[in-house]
Amino acid sequence: MTKQKMKNITIVTEDQVSRRAKTFGRQEEFKWTESHCTACGRCSRICPVDAITIDRTDELTKRMRAAPCSQACPAGLDGSRYARFIGEGKYSEAAAVIRERAPLPLVLGHICKRPCESECQRGKYEGSLQLRALKRFAAAKDDGVWRERLNIAPDSGKKVAVVGSGPAGMSIAYFLKILGHDVTVFESLPDKGGKMLSSIPDYQLPKDVVAAEIGIIESLGVEVKTNSSVDSTASLFAQGFEAVALAIGVKGWGKSIKLPIPGCDAEGVVAGSELLKKIAAEWPLELGSRVMVLGGGTDAFRIALAAAREGAEVHIFGQEHTGGTDADAWEVDQALAEGVTVHSSSLFYRVVSADGKVQGVAGLKIRALGYDSDNQACYDPLPLDEQFFEADSVVSTISSEDISREPMGVSPGVFAAGDAVNEQRSVIESIAAARWVAAAVDRYLGGSGDLTQTLAVPESDAAVTPLKDLKSKFPSPVPVKYVRAADGSQAASEQTLPDAAAVADAKRCLKCDLSYNLKDYQLETGVCVYCGRCIEACYWNAITPGAGYEQARQVAEAVSAKDKRFATVLTVLVAIGVVLIAAVTFMKLTDILA
């Protein structure tokens, strides 16, 4: 395993963190997950029958994005590390950790959806860490020391246009700038900030916070042009830009931005134009019992209606008004009345083929989309199951050329991210999408796409020592100020944590990302009494009940109860025997004395 050495700890990168899982017992009574285990030895020390053996060394390791909070964060913020810095009073270093992966830390500290907190292991006890409040605290204390360690690549000579100055657009601009590109952001409105200004009340996210965060990005050399509408990507390429990133927010979702459907031109896909000729001649389509139609314009609905009337199960995939002219309300109503299913344009679709034969259509939610250096479509999927729709025939009313001709079509050299791709998402989701797009654009332009930055100093020895014992501490309450909202109602406005409260909450971190160097973990179920002490002792859910645990526990309890009954009976019999012996002895002594 390749490891990166730091001053006092071995860093194991995210792609090298072992995700190994083991089950123990014939009925899988226990499950053990290596990425959760810190090799602290609590489970083995508490086991009454020495059933657990841990093979480890005292070498310390930090596993990147192994902590549940970091896994839950779309942008992969290292919550454990910035919490530890706050716990030691190193507030600027904590802010630097956040900035390693997100350029809007103070914005996140105000309005992040905090998926990290719902996964925080401390939540099993008194309550999760106040990670959003800790972000806000650290960002408010930021003295800019991270700038001294920011690694900006040499000028690449490449120009990139970003359309939209919301969280996705400004984050894309920031990441591309540190990768060495000349970046210009085009904003159609007079103010910079996108949905951070238009969709979020001022009492939740003050406008001066947004302005300050964007100002920092501009200070690195990013140019933002307000009152600058962009009608087409072609106009930007004509100005000398070599790549375009679209981050135009919800106004672009399903409307101005047009996403491609990879495989729509593949061999085996039926051309919609040929079927329209058959429909005009009143010939049967003969497409089979399950038909998938790609596109959302009048051509798609005409074909779908004809196929449905032949008895087929018909599905339409694609964004509205793509393929032919716009579908009118009558065509849509007719198709729906015949049972045609129209799928959400918030999904990204692709044609699935195997062995040269079209199998159907797959759809999933994505954060971002673009093209690689070979002009092949690539995308950043959300961690959800992909839906698959099996088909006898797949019909396409669109082509790659159609998308390229769209004013805001995503074609080679054009990338899209944020709300415009998959409906309204959170700011942290937009930042995650921006990281992907920036890396993809850099690779498209010939770079490595590596966004790795180390902006904080190495942690102290005390900070990186794994936790051994848990002391009960409740979450620090976040101060709230009641203000009057725009509609006249009273609203709660969170305030920044006081220093002492922030430090106290940060020190509650269980350090899930730290571990001793673990070699192996074994649990011998043959001697286990299923008391559950190991499960209760583990703060990190590394050892958990398996499928057969409950049955094994019941059997063990039944055997234990039987043993207890036997022991009780034996004790009573022994006691009776002792009494009888004492009685006989007493009688003999009485006879002798008499």
Tokens coding 571: 């004790």
Whole-angstrom distance, CA of residue 517 vs CA of residue 280: 71
Give helix then strand counts, H and E, for the chain. Answer: 20, 26
Q: Amino acid letter at 421?
A: V
Hey, what are 101's tokens?
């992966």
Decide if 461 contacts 445 (C-beta within 8 A).
Answer: no
CA distance to 70, 148, 174, 438, 499, per residue, from 451 (Å): 17, 17, 11, 9, 32
Taking the C-alpha atoms of residue 197 and residue 167, their distance in angstroms, rounded to an integer, is 10
Total length of the chain: 594
Which residue, among 45, 61, 209, 33, has the nearest Cα to 121 in the 3D structure? 33
Which amino acid type is present at position 345?
A: S
- Torsion angle defined by CA atoms of residues 556, 560, 566 and 570, in that order, rounded to the nearest 10 degrees: 150
Residue-by-residue pLDDT tens, the chain, 594 positions: 344 444 468 888 888 888 788 999 988 999 999 989 999 999 999 999 999 999 998 888 888 888 999 999 999 999 999 999 999 999 999 999 999 999 999 999 999 999 999 999 999 999 999 999 999 999 999 999 999 999 999 999 999 999 999 999 999 999 999 999 999 999 999 999 988 988 889 999 999 999 999 999 999 999 999 999 998 889 999 999 999 999 987 664 444 567 778 888 777 889 888 899 999 998 999 899 999 998 888 888 999 999 999 999 999 987 654 445 677 778 888 888 999 998 876 678 888 888 878 899 998 888 888 888 888 888 888 877 788 999 999 998 887 666 666 767 678 899 988 887 876 678 999 999 999 999 999 999 999 999 999 999 999 988 998 888 888 899 999 999 999 888 888 999 999 999 999 999 999 999 999 999 889 999 999 899 999 999 999 999 999 999 889 888 888 777 655 556 666 767 777 778 777 887 778 777 777 776
Q: How far apart are CA 107 and CA 75, in angstroms?
A: 14
Q: How far apart are CA 468 and CA 68, in angstroms?
A: 18
Phi, psi of 552 (to 5 degrees): -65, -40
User: Helices 79-87 and 91-99 sit at what angle, rounded to 10 degrees?
Assistant: 170
Residue 583: burial class (beta carbons within 10 Å; 0-12, 13-18, 19+): exposed
Tell me the pairing of strands 257-258 and 4-5.
Answer: unpaired
Measure the CA angle with vertex 349, ends 345 and 351; round to 5°: 145
> In this structure, what token pair is assigned to residue 86?
């706050």
Report DSSP state, residue 361: E
Distances (CA, A) of 359 to 269, 303, 540: 10, 19, 43
Full-model pTM = 0.85
d(CA 254, CA 233): 17
Q: Dihedrals φ, ψ of 130, to 5°? A: -85, 70
